[in-house]
Amino acid sequence: MRKAKDIMLSDGANNAFSSLFAIFIGLVFGFIVLLISNPSEAVQGFTIILKGGFNTNAKGLGQVLYFATPLIMTGLSVGFAFKTGLFNIGAAGQFIMGAFTAVYIGVKWTFLPAPLHWMVAILGAALIGGLWALIPGLMKAYLNVHEVISTIMMNYIGMYTANFLIKATVYDSKKALSMNTAPSSVLPKGGLDYVFYNPLGNGKDLSTVNSGIWIAILLAIVMYIILNKTTFGYELKACGFNKHASRYAGINEKRNIVLSMVIAGALAGIGGALLYLSGANGRHIKVVDVLATEGFNGIPVALLGLSNPIGIIFSAIFISYITQGGNYMQTLDFVPEVIDIIIACIIYFSAFSLVFRSIIPRIMRFRKDKAAATAEAEAAVAGGEQTERREQE
């Protein structure tokens, strides 16, 4: 019994538990919004949200993973920056610039053979995403311009630049979307086509999911290793926590701020590539004046995952799962806006896991000590007179 309690008090368990608890509160709140907006179908609608990807069986689950992929990447981008003391609000801009670069390379550079083509497209996306974060990084390190302001500005610059460049180069005006990328640039299925499909007559109704999810998970593991196992990660975290002490220790804190931003930007850029290098059935870039939601959703993903790269994998899948569930709610009598509100409530309440992280151990400890404390309080009062006597001697 005592051992079980000690495990509950350990850091890792506490972190996971607080995230789960935050999700639970988010769901409760989402259910309340459902009840208010449409009481008669609330329970049914909530069931659909909870069923998430399962609503359309294996294909649906594949879609969950497909849409989780960019969220893992933007979540990693925000989370990595968090860990190094920076608040990267610019994932949306880095994401869309990376996406454009990948699509451009995918459409135009057809001289590249198959595996090389998509690899180059991803690298290009990382490069441009990194570049988009380099500017705020340099401004932060050398001019002390706060990264929140500069990354927000870069979001808008990125969005309009990407829209302009797409229209000028890879625009399919009939569909008002970016063009299909060349087959050689589409990410391979990576074995996932054997799992995530629904039978359709003799054929398969395939999910869009592809090896992008493998790449995202691999990169999350790489980030985890960099942050926790390497001297580079040690330096980055040191600068994030205390740049004065880092300087004193001989760490080049300006270089680390820039590097940290560039890595965060590259991760978000890769997210853009992984989402849009998915062939004719996959997503295409819509040329609209709206910041990429994948970028902003990276923030709750990172918060819910407590900025831990491994936690981010799970929180991104969770948020994608809930969002997919929301899409299926349209079969009921729900207005799409209400669905968005409900999903947003669940996501943002879930991001409060940090709050629960500090509350849960307090409750656990309180319970543990309550019995002992009441028993000894009386003894303490009784003992008070003895000390007074001792002091007078």
Partner 1 sequence: MDYIVEMLHITKEFPGIIANDDITLQLKKGEIHALLGENGAGKSTLMSVLFGMYQPEKGIIKKNGQEVRIKSPNDANDLGIGMVHQHFKLVHNFTVLQNIILGVETTSNGFLRMEAARDKVIALSEQYGLMVDPDALIEDITVGMQQRVEILKMLYRDNEILIFDEPTAVLTPQEIDELMKIMKDLTSEGKSILFITHKLNEIKAVADRCTVLRKGKYIGTIDVKTTSKEEMSEMMVGRKVSFVTEKKEAEPGETVLKVENLVIPSKNHTKKAVKGVSFEVRRGEVVCIAGIDGNGQSELVHGITGLTPIESGTVLLNGKDISKASIRERNCCGLGHIPEDRHRDGLILEFTLAQNLVLKKYFTPDFQKNGFIQFKEIDDFSQKLIKEFDIRSGQGPKTIMRSMSGGNQQKAIVAREFDVDPQLLIAVQPTRGLDVGAIEYIHHELIGVRDENKAVLLISLELDEVMNVSDRILVIYEGELVADVKPDEVTIQELGLYMAGSKRNGVSS
256 Cβ contact partners less than 8 Å away, ≥ 6 residues apart: 84, 235, 236, 239, 246
- CA 369 to chain CA centroid, nearest Å: 37
Q: Among residues 149, 176, 280, 373, which is the contact residue for partner 1, using CB under 8 A?
A: 373
Q: Which is nearer to partner 1, 113 or 250 (CB)?
A: 250
Q: Is 387 in the site for partner 1 (CB under 8 A)?
A: yes
Q: Which is nearer to partner 1, 168 or 375 (CB)?
A: 375
CB of 381 to partner 1, least distance (A): 7
Q: Is 56 in the site for partner 1 (CB under 8 A)?
A: no
Q: Which one, of 230, 237, 233, lies nearest residue 85 by Cα?
A: 237
Which segment (54-62, 201-209, 329-337, 385-393) binds partner 1 by CB under 8 A? 385-393
Q: Which is nearer to partner 1, 71 or 263 (CB)?
A: 263
Residue 150 in contact with residue 294, Cβ under 8 Å? Answer: no
Which segment (22-30, 38-46, 311-319, 375-383) binds partner 1 by CB under 8 A? 375-383
CB of 374 to partner 1, least distance (A): 10
Q: Among residues 249, 280, 310, 335, which is the contact residue for partner 1, using CB under 8 A?
A: 249
Q: Is 244 in the site for partner 1 (CB under 8 A)?
A: yes
Residue 352 in contact with residue 304, Cβ under 8 Å? Answer: no
Q: Is 12 in the site for partner 1 (CB under 8 A)?
A: no
Which residues are paired to 334 by β-bridges?
none
Q: Which tokens is 248 given? A: 């004193």
Q: Among residues 2, 194, 380, 389, which is the contact residue for partner 1, using CB under 8 A?
A: 380
Binding pattern for the stretch 201-240 against partner 1, x by CB under 8 A and - elsewhere? ----------------------------xxxx-x--xx--
Q: Which is nearer to partner 1, 85 or 269 (CB)?
A: 85
Per DSSP, 207 falls in state -
Q: Is 246 in the site for partner 1 (CB under 8 A)?
A: yes
Q: Which one, of 174, 133, 132, lies nearest residue 287 by Cα?
A: 174
- CA 332 to chain CA centroid, nearest Å: 29
Sign of the torsion angle spanned by Cα atoms 93, 96, 101, 102: positive
CB of 392 to partner 1, least distance (A): 10
CA dist 125 and 277 (Å) reads 11
Residue 151 in contact with residue 95, Cβ under 8 Å? Answer: no
CA dist 289 and 300 (Å) reads 22
Q: Among residues 56, 252, 296, 368, which is the contact residue for partner 1, using CB under 8 A?
A: 252
Residue 233 in contact with residue 226, Cβ under 8 Å? Answer: yes
Q: Which one, of 226, 207, 228, lies nearest residue 218 by Cα?
A: 226
The three state secondary structure string of 26-67 is: HHHHHHHHHHHHCHHHHHHHHHHHHHHHHHHHHHHHHHHHHH
CB of 261 to partner 1, least distance (A): 20
Q: Is 250 in the site for partner 1 (CB under 8 A)?
A: yes
CB of 75 to partner 1, least distance (A): 22
Task: Find where tokens 């893992």 sit.
Answer: 72
171, HSE (Cβ side, Cα atoms, 13 Å):
13
Which segment (136-144, 164-172, 249-257, 258-266) binds partner 1 by CB under 8 A? 249-257
Residue 114 in contact with residue 108, Cβ under 8 Å? Answer: no
CA dist 96 and 162 (Å) reads 7
Q: Among residues 24, 222, 241, 331, which is the contact residue for partner 1, using CB under 8 A?
A: 241
Which segment (64-72, 241-249, 282-290, 325-333) binds partner 1 by CB under 8 A? 241-249
CB of 140 to partner 1, least distance (A): 19
- Which phi and psi angles does 369 have, rounded to 5°? -90, -15
Q: Which is nearer to partner 1, 37 or 252 (CB)?
A: 252
| Total residues at interface with partner 1 (CB under 8 A) | 29
Q: Is 43 in the site for partner 1 (CB under 8 A)?
A: no
Considering only residues 319-358, where is the footprint of partner 1 by CB under 8 A? none
Residues that bind partner 1 (CB under 8 A): 229-232, 234, 237-238, 241-242, 244-252, 369, 373, 376-377, 380-381, 383-384, 387-388, 391
